[in-house]
Chains A and B, each alone.
Chain A
């Protein structure tokens, strides 16, 4: 079951959903709108390798915008800290962003129960698009789980900003 906006508001107030900062004007009928943080990460190499730690560089998104191009993956983050020990969040682009060709993830909009932090967005654009810090970019949805909950205790816990892939750690 998917939570309505009224329920997201109620569960946020009761502490069972974490969204910081929280503003009631971002509550939608069955989701909550969140905003783009101030930085993006890109990989230094063109060719990436699942088994290696692929080095990244951080860029501040200027107030007058950063132009994204289709040939690169950009990692950004939500401005809000988001998480829940009681519901499974998923997220996706706002339709306004999607209509300009912005993907906010490439097939993994699922957040584990018990994961708390700034969500890392996997930004990809179909055509060149300018993005701005603090823009309303995506929305988070909360789903009621069935069964006993085991909380997330993984490698991306407590993210403060965009996090590069740490998949190479799987192979150490």
Chain B
């Protein structure tokens, strides 16, 4: 079952899910809007090695905005810490953003039970698009799971800075990320 906006607010109040900072006006009928943090990172190597080191460059989106260009992946971060142990989080874009040709988290939108952190965002545009720091970028939904909970032991759930996978947890070695 998916939580309604009213239920998201209620369960957050009861400590069953985590959204910090929380702004009540950002809650929708079945989701909560998150905002884009000001720092973006891009891969600095021309060819990315999916199992090797992945050097990143940081830059800050100025108040007047920054134009994202097609053909590369931008890693961003949510302003909010989001997660919890009682409901499964999924993170998606907002339709208003998708309508401008911005992919958000297009291939890995599932969170893990038991983690709460600022999420790394995977961003890609179809046409050049000017974005702004702290804009409402997407939304998170919360789903009621079935079954007992295992504790999360992965890598990304402990990190609130935009990150790529460390080499030792690469798809080739098959370790969990």
A88–B109 Cα distance when bound, in Å, is 18
12 A-B pairs with C-beta separation under 8 A:
A50-B65, A50-B135, A72-B127, A88-B30, A110-B31, A110-B141, A115-B29, A120-B95, A147-B6, A147-B7, A148-B6, A152-B28
Minimum CB–CB distance from A58 to chain B (whole Å) comes to 14
Residue pair A112, B29 in contact (C-beta under 8 Å): yes
Residues of B within 8 A of A73 (CB): 99-101, 126-127
Check B104 for interface membership: any CB of A closer than 8 A.
Answer: yes
Residues of B within 8 A of A170 (CB): 96, 135-136
User: Would you list which residues of chain B between 47 and 102 have a CB under 8 Å from chain A?
Assistant: 65, 67, 70, 92-102
Residue pair A113, B4 in contact (C-beta under 8 Å): yes
Of the residues B10, B100, B104, contact of A50 by C-beta under 8 Å? B100
Of the residues A48, A149, A166, contact of B101 by C-beta under 8 Å? A48
Residue pair A72, B132 in contact (C-beta under 8 Å): no
A116–B136 Cα distance when bound, in Å, is 23
Check A93 for interface membership: any CB of B closer than 8 A.
Answer: no
The count of residues in chain B whose C-beta lies closer than 8 Å to any C-beta of chain A is: 45
Tell me the A residues contacting B by CB distance below 8 Å. Answer: 1, 43, 46-51, 54, 70-73, 75, 88, 105-110, 112-115, 120, 122, 124, 143-152, 156, 163-167, 170
Minimum CB–CB distance from B67 to chain A (whole Å) comes to 7
Check B155 for interface membership: any CB of A closer than 8 A.
Answer: no
Residues of A within 8 A of B141 (CB): 110
A-B contact count (CB 8 A): 150
Check B165 for interface membership: any CB of A closer than 8 A.
Answer: no
Tell me the B residues contacting A by CB distance below 8 Å. Answer: 1-8, 10, 28-31, 65, 67, 70, 92-106, 109, 126-132, 135-136, 138-139, 141, 144
Residues of B within 8 A of A70 (CB): 126
Residues of A within 8 A of B103 (CB): 106-107
